[in-house]
Structures are given as C-alpha cells and as structure tokens.
Amino acid sequence: MPVRRSALNAGPEKTQTTASARSATRDQVDVAVRSGLLTGRFIPGKAVTLRGLAAELGVSPMPVREVLQRLAAENALEVKPNGRIQVPDMTPERFDEVLMARLLLEPELAARAMPHLSSDDIEELRRIDDDIDVRLNSGDAEAYMRLNHAFHFHIYRASGSRVLLPLIDSLWLQFAPFMRTVYGRVGTVNLIDQHKAAIHAIEMQDAPALREAITADIADGMGLLGREILQGEEPS
C-alpha cells in the first residue's frame, strides 16, 4: 500500500524548493503591482481586488494579499474599515507633504550619487531622456511615467543608499497614480523636464547644479501641475 508523505515529512529539499517558489511568485507580484502604481494603472479611489489581480497575474490570492499588505504599510495603498483596498485619494495636505519630502530628499540623493556615475551611465541617461522626448511628443503618458522613473532612479541607485532610496521609492508610489490622472487631463506635449540640465551637471561633476536641476524638475512637474489640478485650475 503506497504511503502518502505529508508536508511535515516531505524533507528539507522539497520544503526549501516550495519556499523558494513561493518567494519568487511573491516577488513577481510585487514587481507587477509596483509597476502598475508607478505608471498609473491603478487610479486613486478605485478598489484593487485580490481575486481580480490574482487572475490577471495568474497566481493565487495569497501572494497578492501579502504584497498589498506590504504596500499598505508603505502608504501606497490603504485598507478601509470594510476591508476594501484602494489607492488613497490625493488631498492638498497629502500632496504638499509628498512634494516637500521629494524636494528635501531627491536633490540630496542625486548629489550623493553623482561621484559614482560613469560615462556609460551618462550615455544611458541620454538614451532614456531621448526616449522620454519621443513619448512626450506622442502623448504616451504611461510610457513617459515609466521612463521618467527609470531616469531618476538610474541616478539615485548609484548612491547605494539603504536609507534614502527606500524612502524615495515609497514617495513615488504615493504620488504616481495621482500624476497619471493629471497627465490624462493636461496631456504630455507641453511638459518640460530638467533632465538635460541634470545630465550636464553630472558631466561637469557640479553637485549644486545637479541639486538645482532635480529641484526644478520636481517643482515644475509634480509641483506646478499637481497643485493646479488639485485647486481646480487648468494649468497655463
């Protein structure tokens, strides 16, 4: 008579394999949901359903639940008293806090990263920026947001920071869904960024100029457009 082996006596190798597969699935879900937040696929105020997301990603609800709980702890999502999970609505107060935090942290991290950026990094930043220009002119807001994130974080990751980088990553997850709705209203053709100024500052190893470029990029992009939309005004 065949003997059935339980999970308790399955052996360490099988247990480790199962745990590794579960971790890989969770990481896959984490990347997909974060990407969705950063490109504005999830709209503020709209529910994010466990089963719907699990079906879309082809996984069970368990890793999706774990990822959503983690993102809720990072303030990228919120859990309502009735259990509904959604992207938080953007309020003027929340907007001002996120904007202030970005203006404080990102220019400083960029300056810390600057000495570690090579000529190859500069060429990659130019390539990303050229692609951004194409997407802006074509009105592809989702691709613009993906590439804009890639540009900034190519700089920031060079810092090797284990403190500031996670904080900034959390801030981007909090403001990106709202900015996607902004671009949906005003389009992307007239957006102006300071990426070329940032690249030039890195080439010149000019930390104050890099701080100034990143500050202006945030203020002119998120700051100006976002605040006008929240105030019910059409950006000029």
pLDDT at 200: 98
How deeply is 153 buried, as exposed, middle or buried, from its count of CB atoms within 10 A (0-12, 13-18, 19+)? Answer: middle
Q: Give the H or E element holding residue 85.
A: strand 85-86
pLDDT at 228: 81
> What 3-state DSSP class applies to 78?
strand
Are residues 201 and 125 in contact, defined by beta-carbon separation less than 8 angstroms? no
pLDDT at 159: 98
What mean pLDDT is predicted for residues 138-153?
A: 95
pLDDT at 7: 47
In our burial notation (b when 16+ CB lie closer than 10 A, e otherwise), range 74-97 reads eebbeeeeeeebbbbebeeebbee
pLDDT at 9: 59
- Retrieve residue 107's tokens: 């220019």
Provide long-range contacts, Cβ within 8 A and 24+ apart, for 130-137. Answer: 132/193, 132/195, 135/188, 136/188, 136/189, 136/191, 137/189
SS3 content of the chain, % helix, strand, coil (to 5): 70, 5, 25
pLDDT, tens only, 178-222: 999 888 888 888 788 999 999 999 999 999 999 999 999 999 888
Are residues 226 and 184 in contact, defined by beta-carbon separation less than 8 angstroms? no
pLDDT, tens only, 4-56: 555 455 566 655 666 677 788 999 999 999 999 999 899 899 899 889 999 99
pLDDT at 64: 94
Are residues 47 and 154 in contact, defined by beta-carbon separation less than 8 angstroms? no
Residue 233 scores a pLDDT above 60: no
> What 3-state DSSP class applies to 108?
helix
Q: Which domains does the chain have, with CATH numbers?
A: 7-86 (1.10.10.10), 92-230 (1.20.120.530)
pLDDT, tens only, 94-140: 999 999 999 999 999 999 999 999 999 999 999 999 999 999 999 99
For residue 115, the one-letter residue type is: P
Separation of alpha carbons 148 and 176, rounded Å: 11
